[in-house]
Amino acid sequence: MEMLRVRLAGPPELVGRLAETLHDDPYAFDLAVQRATGATQTDDVVECHVLAGAANQLLRELRALGAGDRVSLTVEPVALASSATAEQAERRLLGPLARAPVWELVRARIHADGIYRPSFYLLLVAAGVIGAVGILTNSQILVVGAMVVGPEYGAIANIALGLNRWDPHRVGRAVRALVIGFALAVAATFAFAALVRAFDLQPLAYENGVRPVSHMVGTPNFYSLVVAVAAGVVGVVSLTLDRSATLLGVFISATTIPAAADMGVAWAFGSWDEGLASAGQLGLNLLVLIVAGALTLFAQQRIWRRIRERPADVTG
């Protein structure tokens, strides 16, 4: 059983209506009201637990009554919840909706990754340089390490969400962050590889053309397209399920960071065609990740809407 803790705080005349809504909701439990006490506390505070599967409808109702505007709204998952009454309501009334994503929490997770601080660009640059070392030394372990560092899926997810909700401002900021970030990453890997070449530090195998990692990264084909599509789908599904962001980032970065690193290394060593092939691979993968993510988000919302609109089975 998944439950959320909902907290409302605001002027008594507004919080009162919200408390009545929570009181009448069959999926809200453990309602507690703390009245304003005077000068030290001028707001009423209401807290309760809500079945996660019913949270979407309840949050829409609370928003319509002003929650999130003059009344502050806080929602957080409950790590452990045990209630026979709540479990019975979940089984009898919610059915399949008991496992529905809470879309406000999904959007909040994506929004949190839509702030592009200097660290975002620094991590992309660091990932590019680590990937460049992996390409030069034919070390797949280092390439995987670069994938762990890459932070770009936050921007990709924000583009997908912006397209889904038609928010051009969000899409524009994320696209700008990706363009600037990958441009810096390619420039850093180019500078690093140019220094390696200038001081004749390149490994003998790479100099002699033995470049299995580079060849794998810079050769767009049917299989790389399949991986990019799968990564886009898995990325959005993992966000809706709140799965591990680290493992998700590795999978997503498998389609982006190595290609960006190979661009800089190839151009520093005069392999212009190889660098262009990696640029094409990077651009194609980013496009596929965005499209697959947006379509998956749209499809999930449609599927759960259809489930919600089906007549409830309350015979159990």
pTM of the model: 0.84
Q: Residue 121 belongs to what H/E stretch?
A: helix 118-136
Residue 255 is predicted with a pLDDT of 76
Strands (E) in the chain, as ranges, are 3-10, 28-34, 44-51, 72-77
Q: Using one digit for the tens of pLDDT, what is the confidence trace for 133-179?
A: 999 998 888 888 888 888 888 899 999 999 999 999 999 999 999 99
Mean pLDDT, range 77-88, rounded to an integer: 87
Domain contains 229: yes
For the stretch 285-313, pLDDT in tens is: 899 999 999 999 999 999 988 887 775 55
**pLDDT given at position 315:** 44
Q: Does 295 share its domain with 179?
A: yes
Plot region of 242 (φ>0 → left; ψ -120 to 50 → alpha; else → beta): left
Q: Say how far apart CA 269 and CA 193 lie, in whole Å.
A: 7
Residue 73 is classified by DSSP as E
Q: Are residues 49 and 168 in the same domain?
A: no
| CATH code assigned at 63 | 3.30.70.120
Number of domains into which the chain is organized: 2
In a domain, 309, yes or no: no
Which long-range contacts link 266-274 to residues 24+ away (Cβ below 8 Å)?
A: 266/214, 266/218, 267/190, 268/189, 268/190, 268/191, 268/192, 268/193, 268/194, 268/196, 268/197, 269/193, 269/197, 269/202, 274/214, 274/218
Amino acid at 32: A
Choosing from 70, 100, 130, the residue where a domain stops is: 100
**Measured between alpha carbons, how far is 141 from 118 in angstroms, rounded to an integer?**
27
Do residue 118 and residue 34 come from a single domain? Answer: no
Tell me the CB-side half-sphere exposure of residue 177, using CA atoms within 13 A: 27
Residue with tokens 């962050």: 177
pLDDT in tens, 179-211: 999 999 999 999 999 999 999 988 888 887 777
Q: Do 143 and 117 have their domain in common?
A: yes
